[in-house]
Amino acid sequence: MSTPFLRSTIQSSLLRRSIFRTSTIQQNIRQFHYTSPNMTVHNISTTEDWKAALKNNKVVLLDCFATWCGPCKAISPMLVNHSNDEQFKDVFFAKIDVDELPEVSQELGIRAMPTFMLFKDGEKAEELVGANPPALLGLLKKGVEA
């Protein structure tokens, strides 16, 4: 007598799960959009690329990171969000891996990761050491000021 009841309970539970799963997938699909970001964070892989970035852009924000650095990984999405922000459209966002470009990191005097450097007209204007989101935002605002 309990077997039909148990069987119907299991079937209705499976039905509820499949309905819920379908509606969740449909909600996720509806939220996705195909717009491209305004800007990107450029990965600098050679010394020549770095020199060209400084020469060709009025304001450059450089993120000096390492792949093994936890705080670097934590703040990276915030940097990408700022690069897509309209108020920072004139800032060239760049990243260098200090392990891949040791000559650039030595030239810049990198002591810790992450280190953010703001360059104006090819000259270093500001520096921020550490993963501090409010300070990073402040550094970017200094970059867009006249």
- Edge-to-edge strands, sheet with 59-65: 41-43, 91-97, 59-65, 115-120, 123-129
The dotted CATH code for 41-144 is 3.40.30.10
Is 64 noted as a catalytic residue in this protein? no
Asked about 72 being catalytic, the answer comes back as yes
Per-residue model confidence as pLDDT tens digits over 53-91: 999 999 999 999 999 999 999 999 999 999 999 999 999
pTM, to two decimals: 0.73
As given in the structure block, the two tokens for residue 107 are: 């030239």
- Please, is 73 exposed, middle or buried when counting C-beta atoms within 10 Å of its C-beta (0-12, 13-18, 19+)? middle
- Residue burial 38-72, b: 16+ Cβ < 10 Å; e: rest: ebebbebeeeebbeebbeebebbbbbbbbeebeeb
Element (H, E) at 93: strand 91-97
Query: How high is the pLDDT of residue 88?
Result: 93
Give per-residue pLDDT as tens, 97-109: 999 999 999 999 9
Which residues make Cβ contacts (< 8 Å) with residue 66, sequence separation at least 6? 72, 97, 98, 99, 113
Domain regions of the chain by residue span: 1-34, 41-144
Does the pLDDT of residue 6 top 90, yes or no? Answer: no
| pLDDT tens for each residue of 127-138 | 999 999 999 999
**Per-chain mean pLDDT for the chain:** 83
Out of 69, 75, 94, 139, the active site residue is 69
Segment 34-47 mean pLDDT = 76
Catalytic residue among 44, 66, 72, 113: 72
